Amino acid sequence: MATFTIMNNMSGQKSEFEILESTLGAPVVDISGLRSRVGAYTYDNGLGETATCQSSITFIDGAKGELLYRGYPIEELANKKNYIEVCYLILHGELPDSKEYNRFERDIRVKSYPHEGIKYLFRAFPDNGHPMAILSSAVSALSAFHHQHLNVKDDEEFMEMARRIIAKMPTLAAFTYRHFMGYPLIYPDMERYFTENFLYMLRAFPTGKTEISDVEVRALDKIFMLHADHEQNASTTTVRAVGSTGAHPYAAVVAGINALWGRAHGGANESVIAQLEMIGSVDKVDEFIRRAKNPEDSFRLMGFGHRVYKNFDPRAKVLKKLRDELRDTIGINSRLIEIADRIEQIALNDEYFVKRNLYPNIDFYSGTILEALGIRKKMFTPIFVIGRTVGWIAHLIEQKKDSKQKIYRPRQRYIGKTRRSVP
């Protein structure tokens, strides 16, 4: 057994801790019982060096720019599979055969209809409320409508719950959008595939033909797929933390939605578009590049660099290719894409950005693609929610099956006042 020795030089306490090997990536040191054995805790601001769980869902190698779902490279999945196939893979560990896929995909279609009572909830919201606030509330309401039907200790019932929330999330997101726009709500169309159905619910009106091209469906389908899971990011860790308390799975997912809302997390692609709008034109790009490189200027380019990837984000590579395909196929172009292209051209060839591993990330491309598909900026993060729901649920399922899982209870370094008497 490989061990790691930790010694407290202040107290002289020393102990050995087991090193646990991983199938991919760095091994981890099991520091269980650290305080009792050496008289101290670890301090890891942001948990960037701490493994809070064991998982077999997703693996990232940030140095190589590699992302694997259940062992499959994201680039291959994006080229050969659709989002629903990837949902099945993430939930079950293997890609579905044709019979498994047909049964799973059909069940998702059937479950896409929410309880009729959910509709009344939307009437209570102001039409200028942020879609993430509305979506979060709608998903929270699901736990009231379905709580009595869920025995979380039963594996099949838990999986039934998983399919239900994956199916309903696009419907609730579409209802959110239409309320935000002041449009009548549109029910799902069971004859349409998952992603086409979402676009239909965004665009359709009671009369008139809804135009949805195959390339638009493929584009949004890949965006859902690329966002499906990403290891222990802030929202997934939040979902696991809430899940560890024994809370209803929908409550844990709602916590994930609210964590994802942050500008530093799921709201980043919305911030990318806002910044491109602020730059305004291609001839101003050089000025903002100079500002980004000036250490005394607080301006930073949104959509560049990543907490994990120190190479090109593999998801960004897929989306860059997709954006070029959309431009060639349906002629998408816009002032914002022209600005983004100029920023990308400079950054990929500028020593300042290359030396610091500031490559375009998924948010840089996803925002411009969604904007080109005619989707409002405030809906970008709800679309992220649709894609990520399957990952959150898979982590809850994995956590439920872990017999060693404890309620999350991190420690702290206390730096306040010492004990004193009340005068």
Question: Alpha-carbon distance 400 to 156, whole Å?
Answer: 13
Backbone φ and ψ of 160, nearest 5°: -60, -45
Question: Alpha-carbon distance 382 to 260, whole Å?
Answer: 9
Count of Cβ atoms closer than 10 Å to residue 226 Cβ: 27
Backbone φ and ψ of 15, nearest 5°: -155, 155
Q: Say whether 59 sits in a helix, a strand or coil.
A: strand
Catalytic residue among 230, 306, 313, 395: 306
Question: Alpha-carbon distance 219 to 330, whole Å?
Answer: 12
DSSP tag of 384: H
Contacts 24+ apart (CB under 8 A), 348-356: 350/289, 350/293, 352/293, 353/304, 356/305
Catalytic residue among 221, 229, 313, 363: 363
Task: Name beta bridge partners: 69.
Answer: 58, 72
| 61 is annotated as an active-site residue | no
Q: Give the closest residue to 223 by CA, choosing from 16, 57, 379.
A: 379
Q: Give the closest residue to 220 by CA, choosing from 173, 275, 261.
A: 173
Per-residue CA distances from 59 to 74, 185, 221, 341, 397 (Å) = 10, 39, 21, 30, 17
**Per residue in 18-46, is it b (16+ CB within 10 Å) or e — as a string?**
eeeeeeeeeebbebeebeebbeeeeeeee
* Helix residue spans in 147-297 (DSSP H): 155-181, 194-203, 214-226, 234-243, 249-260, 268-279, 285-293
| 221 is annotated as an active-site residue | no
Count of Cβ atoms closer than 10 Å to residue 222 Cβ: 27
Count the alpha carbons within 13 Å of 200 in the hemisphere toward its beta carbon.
Answer: 18
Question: Alpha-carbon distance 190 to 397, whole Å?
Answer: 27
Give the DSSP H or E segment for 108: helix 98-110
Catalytic residues: 306, 363
